[in-house]
Amino acid sequence: MASFGGGPAASFVRPPQHQYASSSGVAQTSLSSKSPTINLTTLAKASDVLNGLFEKDAQMVPELRDTLAGSSSSAYNIPPHRSWAPFFRPDGLEGFKSMPTGVFDEYDEVRPHCCMGIFPEIQRAWITLNNRLLLWDYTDGSDIRTFEDQPDVILHVGLVKAKHDVFIDEIRYLLVLSTSKSLILIGVAAIPITVPSSAVEPPRLDVKLYDTGFTYPAKEMQAIVGTKSGRIFMCGVEDGYLYELIYRSSEGWFSNKLSLICHSTAGGIAGLLPVTLSSWRLVPTTDDRIVSLVVDDDRHYLYTLTQRPHISMFSFGPGGDALTIKTTLKNIHGDANRIAPSESFSIVGLHVIRKHVRPNDSNDQPQLMAVTSTGARLYFSKHRYMIGMDPDALQLVHVRLAPQNLRHPPADPGSSFRGAGYIPAATPANTAPFVVNRIEGSCHAAGITLERQCPGDDPEKSDYIVCVSPDLATLSSLGPVHAPSYAQYSAFPGSAGGPRTVLTEYATVMSISGNAWDMCEVPSVPTSIKPPESPAPLVTNELVTQFSEPQRKFLVITNMGLNLIVKRRAIDFLSASLIEADMGNQSALQDFFTSFGRDQTCAMLFALASGNTFLSSDAGQPPSVAANHAKGMLFSQSGKPVFKEAVGYGGGDGNIAFSGRHAGFALYFARVIRPIWRAHITVGEVPKALKSNVAEQTLIVVQQNLESLRNFLSTNPHLFDSSQGEFAGSSRATAEQEAWKAENASASSLKALVSQTIEAISFVLLLQDYGLPQVATLAGDAIFKRLIGLQYRALITTKDGRDVARALVTAVINQQIAQQTSVDTISDVLQSRCGSFCSMDDVKYFKAQESLRKATETSNPEERARCLQESLKLFADGARIMELQSLTDIVEDYRRCSYASGAVFLPLRCAQEFDATNEGREYWLMGCPAGDADPRKLLYERRWACYQICVDSLSTFDDRLADAIKKGEPGLEQDAARTRAYQLAFESQDYAFHCFFYDWLIDRGMTEELLEYRPMFLEDHLQREPRTLDKLNFLWQYYVKTDQSLRAAKVLADIAESTEFNLLLDKRIEYLTLAVNNAKSHPSSEFGRQEAAVEFLTDLEEKLEVAQVQREVYHNLTTKLGTPKGEDARLRHLESTLLNITQLYGDYADPYELYVSKLLIFKVSDHRDHRLTRATWEAVVSECRIGATSEEQMSNLSATVSALASRFFPSEAAFPLDDIALLLEKLALENRHDVSHGWAPRTLASGGVPHPTIFDAFHNMYESQIPPFNVQDAVQFLSSDIAVLISDWLDAAIRPQSSIARGEFPANMLDEAVNQYLRELESHRAETRQLYENLRVKIRRNF
């Protein structure tokens, strides 16, 4: 492999930027090794386990509202063991940092004009010495910045958020200095200057001060607070009014850049309020000045506390730019004493209770807490207690009394520097209980309260800190409600009982060095820009956060320096208890199991055994001691999986209660990844502004903890396994064995998820290394939109997440290829850092892309052919991961290269890979059932899209050859490419593709080519559903081409009788005609099947005859009716559907009196009904005689009968000659004056009825004397017509070239007949007699 010294490729192959950025579970550099198989179903099951645990964690600790049972409470627990001290001060400089050199001395000199506090947001403590402001960097204890650019004594200092649009971007905060004469604004920039070594500590900040030029003349102000939007509030020391300091970037017409508004007088809010609000007493009296302000940014409120004390609540409004008073709570003393009678008190601290939103939460959560001088805590809530009360009224809802019977801390504060925290002496110096009173200050954050108690009148004595924190074991109901070793005090007698959990807290007292000025919590490091989606646990639930966040720390600044107080967590209790157990004291460990339960304890044991990075080292013992004990307890004390049923066992995990090992593993895993699991991967509105949502250091630490967990599991493979020898042959033993198998399977899925999460983090870190904005831009808008909505859990466990990851990998590859980095080099890096996100298929895909690129760039034909072949092989090997759009682009490149193999074979290969299980093919074979719910539909669509790409290639090669021929070029290359492309298509073994291909050829009119090639699946495809007219037309032609005329006839007959093609009658007759012709062409069979063929032909001919009748019926009907609207449907039915003869007669011919059609039906069906036929003929005659003159009627009738005779004779069913002859002769007799002699027989003869047949009919009529020819006059008329008949017959016989042979003429019979007629002829019929005599002469002369 080529090495890169300093070119563009060096940026990609640099060493990993992160210590834990590689994946140890996948191949590192060998491209021949197989990438791990990713089973998303298994990962999804493991994800479901974690999601269930997240839900349980969110509900584990009840809301504060739900624990404040009754109106008062005083349930406290005092730690019963040395190892359970909830707070401690670290050893040495970590626990206490003295004032910088010189500051302490100067403090003594200017004490009346000195104050101090802590600004944790910028990691600085502040001290004022007369007119100077000192900012002390307490992170290293040495750096001090001084501001002294003004002459007046600084009395009060506040740090507030700066508005975004006023100062330069670096200024994020403002220092507000209050002197006796003015207010001064100083810009503050806090810039990170170091990257922390872990997520435990925040980065150090470099603080810079900027002169804003904003100074406003004002009297002394105190309680300076700000909102997150940049508004500044304060109260006057002398008047106790509420003020707001407003600053702008520029002056307006009616506003200055800096102004001070008093909201307590007529110029401020008081002047805008109606008289009815005067009861709020916004203008304070002497003893009702505002002394404290608190801002609640979450709820958009401002609270004020007065000396009396009264608490008022103001609203900033939805936009945050208003200030409206909502309520004032006045009788706080009286309300508190009614709830819990006590001595007089004052409020020394007002604290906002952080808002925590859960689904369906009401607005009655306590939102404000006041700490009194007696150590009690007053909880206020905006809650409606009675009808008619203002819904915004603030009410005192609970009094939390101070803890009692606390132990005194050691007299020497230094003794509490020990890492083990406060350990009661064996013989306490002061056995009297510590009484909580004289509280002068407080700090509250996320359930923890610190109260500063003055030791007495002696200022030289150090203060005490009363520390109170939730007892999570009791609140979460993890163990018995009353732990056996706890010293628990009952609730205040007035509290409500019931099953609800009562607020129970730990309480302890610590001594500090000096007199405290200020207390605060060290801010936690934000893990992400956009917080993870719910469910989120309560901020007080350290059981959930202890594996992913450091211990909570509190700073207390005194006149001697900075004190650090650290909150211990349950895992710290367990670690210390394990060490005590190692020393022989088992009681603490036993109580821990009892209090926190098996599952929670096992989760903490996993953290200790695997070496979680957030473990505290305050116990003074090597971490391996606790880790070894933790590992041993996981094997010995975590139980085993069992079936829940008492008898028998089931086959699913729902019947199994997993062991503590499994529960602990799942819990620990879930809590380690909680900061990232439901967090979005990126934030940013456009690709160029895209950045990681989760902090890089958080990702690294989570990965470290997962890596250590995976290592622990791999080095202890039997943790979730049991020797088969432990089970006997009983059914119970079999059930236990199945339970172990189920637990092992579940643990295996969780292990797989651990490995995949490690690689996912490596993948995200890799994207950061190579520029998220650039990669997202290359990936395209569609991927960018999917990426910004993608969470880590979806990236790891869903196909969509993997698809996005693959697209991003492709973008990274393309980015580096553009910098001339080889695919092998890129692949090595990807495989080593996140192998499952760049599988071997991915590697082959990228190498194929490189080969294809070389093929398009080279001018050497041999090199080009080699690169094309290599690319096709690699693309085919990695076809299963290819996207449709990528396939389209690749095939287009192959077309440009005239590479038919790639343009046709690759999409066919992808079709097989995309639908490897043939579920899409099955969906197609079933006729593509309607609805989008069928999961096979997507596979079918992807498969068909590949087929379309393939035939598009064929179309391209067709067009190129046609263009070459049109231009007069030889087109040899185009013809070769086209021929090869069609050859590959026809040689495919994919039946579904052949069907698609044939349809495409038929649609393009390329049936001749298809018939010429005769591919293997053609006949089967043309026969399968869905049937189309084109396919059936092509099928019968195929049969004709292959000399299968009988099969062709059957297909043609099927088309003719089909109902789905909407064929008209003429077309159906055409198909039937072709069917008959092909059936007649069928050769005789040697296997006895000729009879069936003849029967089929006969049936076809009958159907054709009936169809022809139907056509005549249709034409006759349309001629008779035209196109009346009422008959449209029946006519359409007649024209488009083949009917049988009965339907034609009963539905059309008879109802519509189509007499000729009826006669035709009689003939075709050979229906012989004498009466019906005669009636029909009478109707025909009647129709001919309607209107006109008698002569015209007879002429019309003659023409009609002649025409019908030519059609229907000699059918007795349709043309009964005797009846028709009698009918005609009667008419002739009746109209003797309008017709000549011989009209009737001549009419029949003109219709093609032979003379002998006519003669027989008339002679029979003469002989039978059927009325009216039973009277002499009628008989004589009939005789005259017979004479004419014989004359015409004789003339036809003796005519030259006559069709009547001489031997066929019955001369003797006619001679005798003429003699008879002459004998019976009346004498007055001279003309007829003469004719007879002439006939006799002619007969005798010629015969």
Per-residue pLDDT tens for 373-402? 999 999 998 865 555 556 678 889 999 999
Asked if residue 496 has pLDDT above 50, the reply is no
Asked if residue 1279 has pLDDT above 70, the reply is yes
Asked if residue 1099 has pLDDT above 70, the reply is yes
Asked if residue 108 has pLDDT above 70, the reply is no
d(CA 803, CA 842): 12
Structure token digits, residue 981: 């492309």
| Angle at the Cα of 106 from the Cα atoms of 101 and 111, rounded to 5 degrees | 135
- Name the percent of the chain lying above pLDDT 70: 86
Is the distance from CB of 751 to CB of 666 less than 8 angstroms? no
Asked if residue 787 has pLDDT above 90, the reply is yes
Task: End-to-end CA distance of the chain: give it in Å, rounded.
Answer: 121
Measured from the Cβ of residue 286, the count of other Cβ atoms closer than 10 Å reads: 8
Q: 521 pLDDT band (50/70/90 cuts)?
A: very high
- Over residues 1207-1230, the pLDDT tens digits come to 999 999 999 999 999 999 999 998
* Cis peptide bond upstream of 470, omega within 30: no
| Angle at the Cα of 278 from the Cα atoms of 276 and 280, rounded to 5 degrees | 115
Q: What single DSSP character describes residue 673?
A: H
- Buried b / exposed e along 820-850 (16+ C-beta atoms within 10 A): ebbbebbbbbbbbbbbbbbbbbbbbbbbbbb
Asked if residue 270 has pLDDT above 50, the reply is no
- Over residues 285-342, the pLDDT tens digits come to 656 899 999 999 988 999 999 988 999 999 999 888 999 999 899 889 888 988 888 7
Taking each helix axis as running N to C, give the angle between helix 799-817 and helix 731-769, from 0 to 180 degrees, rounded to the nearest 10. 30
Is the distance from CB of 1201 to CB of 1224 less than 8 angstroms? yes
- Name the percent of the chain lying above pLDDT 90: 42
Q: 775 pLDDT band (50/70/90 cuts)?
A: very high
Residues 594-603: what's their mean pLDDT?
A: 92
Helix or strand or coil: residue 273? coil
d(CA 910, CA 904): 10
d(CA 487, CA 465): 21
pLDDT of residue 626: 84
d(CA 282, CA 326): 12
pLDDT of residue 497: 39
- Which residues touch 204 (CB under 8 Å, ≥6 apart)? 123, 137, 139, 140, 192, 193, 194
Run of H or E residues at 221:
strand 221-226
Q: Biggest alpha carbon distance in the chain? A: 180
Helix or strand or coil: residue 126? strand
pLDDT of residue 1083: 76
pLDDT of residue 1086: 40
Asked if residue 647 has pLDDT above 80, the reply is no
Is the distance from CB of 673 to CB of 706 less than 8 angstroms? yes
Asked if residue 836 has pLDDT above 90, the reply is no
User: Which residue from 1077, 1014, 1069 is spatially nearest to 1049, judged by alpha carbons?
Assistant: 1077
Cα 229 from chain centroid?
36
- Over residues 346-365, the pLDDT tens digits come to 888 889 888 765 555 556 67
HSE (side-chain half, CA atoms, 13 Å) at 187: 16
d(CA 381, CA 110): 43
d(CA 488, CA 288): 40
User: Which residue from 398, 388, 391 is spatially nearest to 366, judged by alpha carbons?
Assistant: 398
Q: What are phi and psi of 136, to 5 degrees?
A: -100, 120
d(CA 472, CA 86): 11
pLDDT of residue 417: 38
pLDDT of residue 792: 95
- Over residues 1281-1300, the pLDDT tens digits come to 999 999 999 888 888 877 77
Asked if residue 250 has pLDDT above 90, the reply is no
Is the distance from CB of 1017 to CB of 989 less than 8 angstroms? no
User: Which residue from 874, 871, 841 is spatially nearest to 856, judged by alpha carbons?
Assistant: 871
Structure token digits, residue 799: 């196909």
pLDDT of residue 1071: 92
Asked if residue 609 has pLDDT above 70, the reply is yes
- Over residues 138-158, the pLDDT tens digits come to 888 778 889 998 999 999 999
The strands making up 368-372's β-sheet, listed across from edge to edge, are 72-73, 394-400, 377-382, 368-372, 347-352
d(CA 1010, CA 1317): 77
Measured from the Cβ of residue 930, the count of other Cβ atoms closer than 10 Å reads: 8
- Over residues 30-65, the pLDDT tens digits come to 333 344 567 889 999 999 999 999 999 988 888 888
Handedness of CA 732, 735, 737, 739 (dihedral sign): negative
pLDDT, averaged across the chain: 84
Asked if residue 110 has pLDDT above 50, the reply is yes
pLDDT of residue 653: 56
Q: Which residue has the tokens 């626990």?
A: 95
d(CA 192, CA 184): 26
Asked if residue 1021 has pLDDT above 80, the reply is yes
Measured from the Cβ of residue 359, the count of other Cβ atoms closer than 10 Å reads: 7
- Over residues 1121-1160, the pLDDT tens digits come to 876 666 678 888 888 899 999 998 898 888 888 889 989 9
Asked if residue 4 has pLDDT above 70, the reply is no
Residues 360-371: what's their mean pLDDT?
A: 76
Q: 723 pLDDT band (50/70/90 cuts)?
A: low
Structure token digits, residue 1058: 């089909």
Considering 16-30, 607-621, 686-700, the range whose residues carry the highest mean pLDDT is: 686-700
Q: 1012 pLDDT band (50/70/90 cuts)?
A: confident
Q: Which residues pair with 642 in a beta bridge?
A: 657
Beta strands 72-73; 394-400: pairing state: parallel
Considering 719-723, 737-741, 839-843, 910-914, the range whose residues carry the highest mean pLDDT is: 910-914
Is the distance from CB of 960 to CB of 978 less than 8 angstroms? yes
Asked if residue 27 has pLDDT above 80, the reply is no
Is the distance from CB of 394 to CB of 315 less than 8 angstroms? no
pLDDT of residue 362: 55
Measured from the Cβ of residue 991, the count of other Cβ atoms closer than 10 Å reads: 15
Q: Which residues pair with 465 in a beta bridge?
A: 452, 510
Q: Which residues pair with 509 in a beta bridge?
A: 466
Asked if residue 781 has pLDDT above 70, the reply is yes
* Cis peptide bond upstream of 1210, omega within 30: yes
The strands making up 448-453's β-sheet, listed across from edge to edge, are 439-445, 448-453, 464-470, 505-511, 76-78, 487-488
